[in-house]
Amino acid sequence: MTMTARSRACDPCLRRVWLLNRMSSHLELERARLFDALDCFDNEMMCTYGGGRREEIYRNWLEFDADAARTVCTEAGVEPVCRCDPEFPENLHGQRHPPTVLHVRGRIDLLVHSSDLPPVAIVGSRRASQYAREVATALARDLAACGIPIVSGLAPGVDTAAHLGAVDQAGSTIAVLPAGSERAYPASQRQLHRRIAAEGVVISEMPPGTAIRRWMFPARNRVIAGIAAMTVIVEAGEHSGSLTTVEVAHRLRRTVGAVPGQVSSPLAAGPNALLANGGAVVVRDAQDVVDWLKEIYELPDGIEVEDGRPEPDPEQRALLLAIASGADTLGTLQDAGFSLQDVLTGTAALELSGHVRHGPGGRFVVVL
C-alpha cells in the first residue's frame, strides 16, 4: 500500500474509486443489488458485473495511475481521504460496505477532527412543504447552536433548509454529494455549495469530474447515514429516496427520528409510517434529538438546547403568543388589544429575527 506524504489516500483505495466510476453503467443495471455490488472485492466486481468488458476493465485497472488521480483532485481543490487513513471518520468504519475514499472540499478539519459531539443527519423531501422547511431549519439551527454537526445531501427542500439552519448559526455542516464534491449538484445549489465549502465541508465518494448516475444517490445516502449518529427524517413520501438513508441507519443500528406530519398529506406518509410501525422515535424539536443522543452517547456536561434566534422582548413575546393563538392578522391583533403601531413595529421585528413570516392572505405565521 502506497500513501504519500501529501495524500491521505493510498493507491489501492484510489484504484477502487476509479473502478466504481468505470463500472457506473453496470452498477446502474444492478441498483436492486447495489449494496451487494459495493461489498464486492475489485476482482469479484469486475467478474460479476463487468459483462463483456470485464477483460478491458481489468487491463485498465492494472494500468491505473494513482498519482494522476491525486493530481486531478489537487487541480479541482479536493483532498482525497481513504479508509486506510487513521483520521477517516470513525462512524463509517462500522458499515458493511463503507466508502473507500471521501473526496473532501472545504474545511477538512471538520471531517477528520470534527466536534466531540455526534453528527446528526436531517433528510427529507425535495418538494418539501413550508412547514417541513421550517422544521428542518429550526432543528439544524438549534442543534448547531449546541455544537452538533449537521449532515445532509444538498438537495432542494429539506436538505437545503437543514444546511442553511446550520450555517446561519455558524455551525458545522457536512454536505454529502452523489458525485464530484468540486461542483454543486444540482447546479441550482451553486451558492449554497460555495458557502458550505467555505464555512463547512462538502464530500463525495466519487472523484472530481464524475458524471451523475442514478445508483450514486442511494450510495450517497448510505454515506449520510454512516456519518450520522442519528438520522432524522422530516418529510418524505411513501417511496422517497430519503427512506434509503433510514434503511441504512436501521442496518447500522443507529437511532432514527421522524417528525410527525399531517395524516392527510402524502408528503408525511414516510415519517408517519415509521412512527406507526416503531421504526423511528418522535422528534418534535432539537431537545428530543439531544435527549436521544444522551441515551446512547456520553455527551459533555452543559449541552443545552437554546433557540439560536434573538430573544423577543416582553412586548414582542406577547405579540408572538397572540399570533400563535390565532390572532394572525392586523385586525385580529388589534381586537386582541394591541395598537396598530405596536403590531406594525412588533411584527416587523419578529419577522426580522425569524420568529414570524407572512403567510397567505396577509396572515402572520409563527416560525418554529
Strand runs (DSSP E) across 225-307, as ranges? 230-233, 255-258, 281-282
Coil, helix or strand for 366? strand
Strand-strand pairing, 101-106 and 201-204: antiparallel
Report how far residue 36's alpha carbon sits from residue 23's, in angstroms, rounded to the nearest whole number. 14
Report how far residue 31's alpha carbon sits from residue 58's, in angstroms, rounded to the nearest whole number. 22
For the domain 106-296, what is the CATH code? 3.40.50.450
Q: Where are the domains of the chain?
A: 11-100, 106-296, 314-366
Task: Cell 419577522: give the residue.
Answer: 351
CATH 3.40.50.720 is right for the domain spanning 314-366: no
pLDDT, position 203: 96
Report how far residue 247's alpha carbon sits from residue 233's, in angstroms, rounded to the nearest whole number. 11
Written as tens digits, the pLDDT of the chain (368 aa) is 444 434 689 999 999 999 999 988 888 766 668 888 888 899 999 998 888 889 999 999 999 999 999 999 999 999 999 999 887 888 888 777 789 999 999 988 877 655 578 899 999 999 999 899 999 999 999 999 888 999 999 999 999 999 999 998 877 899 999 999 999 999 999 999 999 999 999 999 999 999 999 999 999 999 999 999 999 999 999 888 899 999 999 999 999 999 999 888 999 999 999 999 999 999 999 999 999 998 888 777 667 777 667 788 888 888 888 888 888 888 888 888 888 888 888 888 888 888 888 878 778 888 87
Rg (CA), the chain: 23
CA-based angle 250:254:258, to the nearest 5?
75
pLDDT, position 7: 66
Report how far residue 198's alpha carbon sits from residue 251's, in angstroms, rounded to the nearest whole number. 33
pLDDT, position 332: 87
Coil, helix or strand for 209? coil
Report how far residue 149's alpha carbon sits from residue 144's, in angstroms, rounded to the nearest whole number. 6
Report how far residue 173's alpha carbon sits from residue 163's, in angstroms, rounded to the nearest whole number. 6
pLDDT, position 2: 44
User: Exposed/middle/buried for 199, CB within 10 Å: 0-12, 13-18, 19+?
Assistant: middle
Enumerate the H helices of the chain as residue ranges. 11-22, 24-29, 34-38, 42-49, 54-62, 66-75, 108-112, 130-145, 158-167, 190-199, 216-227, 242-251, 269-276, 286-296, 314-324, 330-335, 340-352
